[in-house]
Amino acid sequence: MKDRKAYTGIDDFRFAVRKWGLKKVLVITSVLYIVGLFGDSYYGIASEIPFLKNLYAEIFDILDYTRNGVFFAPVFFVLGGAAAEMSAAENRVYIEERRKDTKLSFLRGGRRVLLRSASLVIYIIHPMLIVVIRLIAKLTGLQSILIENSLVHYFMVSAASIFFAVFSVKLWDRWKNRGSTDYVPGTDRAWLEIDMHSLGHNVEILKNEMPADCKLMAVMKAEAYGHGMYETASYLNQIGVDAFAAATIDEGICLRRCGIVGEILILGYTDPARAGELHKYDLIQTLIDYPYSRLLNKQGYDIKAHMKIDTGMHRLGFGKEEIEKIVHVFKMRHIQVCGIYTHLCVADSRKEKDIRFTKIQINSFYRVLEELRKKGVTVPKIHMQSSYGLLNYPQLRCDYVRAGIALYGVPSSPKDKTKLPMELWPVLSLKSRVVLIRKIKKGESVGYGRTFVAQRDSMIAVLPVGYADGLPRNLSCGRGRALIHGQMVPVIGRICMDQLTIDVTDIENVSVGEVATLIGRDGEKELPASEAAGRAGSITNELLSRMGGRLSRILVW
């Protein structure tokens, strides 16, 4: 068994927050702090009230005094965690609000960072300022007010602590950031717009088609398909989604550190040596086969897990014939199997042969569950529907639907047809600004390889976005398109790593600084992500998941 880390109590606070919620835990720890405070620095007040005097007599019989970590430390752990949760990943998250005048409004998380830092300073300097206030009282002859009056003394110390903490943090930030430049809203060369209203709409649409006792499991892998894992998961948490799926343990840890509460299932492989992190962050690990389950169990950490059954995809999972091994895993000491699932590999197809294969997979999965019941195993929560599993097989009764691409409002391919039509709205748009307009004469070429030669005198616009931003190079030479002034124009020449060019000859009054849309809507026309992916010879899932590595995300409401 692995050596355990020294007990610090921090894991207990994480558990308490997840179980009861931040507000309740904050109230409890604040009460402890006040009890400790009035049993120590302000015992003079408590001793004048018979009930409190008797209460503290009992406390002192057990603990001798209240100046200890039991009373004072918990509230600072909770405040620090709350401030960290609010400020995580907000340094570059800007929120654009839809307003009648279409102007942009940006908010930053600086105040939350200040709260987190100031609370730490208060924790450190509060005892020292008690001494300072008493010294000032003696020097000014105001002992009767500042010392003997306990309430005045308490409020003076508190006010001085807060003032000193805020002042010192702001002074430190000014010194640390001297010479640095702040981000100026509206100056991005290219960016992703994430429409949170559409995301919320899609959640409601999907839930309306699910059984009442079925939960939506939001798939967050690959930065939420390029939409931003922190931004989307935080919003989904706020509107009631509390089941998530990630591809890797690091994605799961990131979600936890961003303050996401609820279930987080790791869909892929995690090295058994990282079992301690699975336990620490309360993540649910997929069991990919029997040898892996044994290795994970041997690590000595209590792990929550979902068991995957291979019903025909032949990727991860237990074979459907391995009933005895599956039963043995349910009896392992350190593995708590709280879910079991399979993956339907052609659920997106409406071809007759693929429908037959999917039904074989479904029946195979149900047979495994029935065999487990015969062996006396209590079958945990089940799931097999991904986005297309719900769209094409809505009749299946499961405990979760793993919604990925449908959650973000787009099909994998523009040709996809589904049994269950849904009015899902695209969440992501890709936009860039015109940085240069150039006149070229008939016969002149543009870009690498001279793949575009003007057949007439033309006007071209340069956009500072390229394949390093996730826009496929396969969209070069007219396969890609853009919208500007609500009109469609072609991408000409080859898409470069950081730039591309569009032909705006037929668009009047295009000027530097104007916005071009490469994915999304402009006026009455739209360039769907699925269409761009299809033109590039790919699928929407791949196209979107490659975006956002260096593009800013603007949240639109």
Q: Residue 489 — φ and ψ, nearest 5°?
A: -135, 155
pLDDT the model gives residue 123: 67
pLDDT tens digits, one per residue of 109-167: 445 556 667 777 776 777 777 878 888 888 888 888 877 777 787 788 888 888 888 88
| Number of CB atoms found within 10 A of residue 228's CB | 21
- Examine the pLDDT at 217 and tell me if it is beyond 80: yes
- d(CA 381, CA 375) in angstroms, rounded, equals 17
Q: What is the mean pLDDT of residues 493-510?
A: 97
Among this protein's residues, is 221 annotated catalytic? yes
Q: Are the C-beta atoms of residues 385 and 396 closer than 8 Å to each other?
A: yes
**Residue 296: pLDDT above 80?**
yes
pTM above 0.95, yes or no: no
Half-sphere exposure at residue 216, Cβ-oriented, CA atoms within 13 angstroms:
23
The two tokens of residue 135 are 């010294």
DSSP class of residue 475?
G
Residue 548, CB-side half-sphere exposure with 13 Å CA sphere? 24
Q: Which amino acid is at 319?
A: G
Residue 480: CA count within 13 A, CB half-sphere: 28
Q: What is the dihedral of CA 114, 173, 191, 433, to 10 degrees?
A: 140
User: Facing residues of 556 across strands?
Assistant: 96, 195
At residue 133, the pLDDT reads 81
Reply yes or no on whether 375 is catalytic.
no
pLDDT digits over 61-113, tens only? 776 677 666 777 777 777 766 655 554 444 333 333 333 333 333 333 445 55
Q: What is the percent of the chain where pLDDT is above 70?
A: 85
List 65, 375, 442, 448, catalytic entry: 448
pLDDT value of position 34? 85
Give the pLDDT confidence score for residue 356 in this predicted structure: 98
Q: Is the distance from CB of 545 to CB of 225 less than 8 angstroms? A: yes
**Rounded mean pLDDT, 257-278:** 97
For residue 18, pLDDT over 90 is answered with: no
Whether 215 and 399 have beta carbons less than 8 Å apart is answered as yes
Give the Cβ contact number of residue 524 at 10 Å: 7
The DSSP bridge partners found for residue 383 are: 341
Higher pLDDT, 153 or 277: 277
Average pLDDT over residues 277-297: 98
Given 215, 221, 308, 431, the catalytic residue: 221
